[in-house]
Structure 1
Amino acid sequence: MTDGVEPSRRWYDRDGRPIPPEEAERLLGRPGYDRIRATTVMDMADLDWIRDISTVWVGVDLGEVAEPPLIFETAVFDRDHTTLRHRRYATEAQASEAHEAFVVAACEEANDPVVLETTDSVT
């Protein structure tokens, strides 16, 4: 424990710096601060096939007391919003790189892919 707070429950800003819970609450209140990217891949050959890829800042360490803390998550969902896969990352750059890799994988899985970027990060 550090400063009376378990490391896995500490808050971090998007640059990975520890912040007090009050600052995390303020950042979570900023529209778009938690969103890194959101992409939808549709298959025009099969309109029931959709993959939504989402990358977010969660602010708290999602790892098992990882060093550095895992404060970003990239996930792939199907059309029913079932999580197909997800990974956790320490930096925004790692999470963004993974997001792009998941988009490429979804495009390779689709027969006639169309890619829609639905949000951009707001910092």
Structure 2
Amino acid sequence: MSSADPTLTAAQVLAELRTCVGRAHGLHVRDLVARITGRSTPAPAHERRAREHVAALRLQGEHICGKPDTGYFMAATAAELDETCRYLRSRAVSGLRIESRLRRVSLLALLGQLALSDNDTPKNNANS
């Protein structure tokens, strides 16, 4: 990619991350973008786009790990993947906890995890 080209693709992000296997090889987003674009000081828009691509690639099942202190990297072990999953879950729960307080409802109510009444539970009926 030339340094004048403003595009940044998911394929480029994934290709670069595949060279970064294991926590010890993590890249912070600015360094990831710098490697792809060849710019020593990447534009903030490129960094945002790279984060969007990482999120999309994760949704596709790519084992992209990372936290702010490690940067992004491909999982080398199940433990690295588990650590990232725990981090992502804690962020999600934290955001949901804030929303539940703002809405003044319990976290369980917010998540729709309330017990079903007898009228709502499916019946084991051989005739249905």
TM bracket (short chain): under 0.3
Question: Normalized per residue, which structure has more strand?
Answer: 1
Output the TM-score relative to the length of structure 1.
Answer: 0.27
Larger radius of gyration: 2
**Which fold has the larger relative contact order, with Cα–Cα distance below 8 Å and residues 6 or more apart in sequence?**
1
From the two aligned structures, give the one with the greater helix fraction. 2
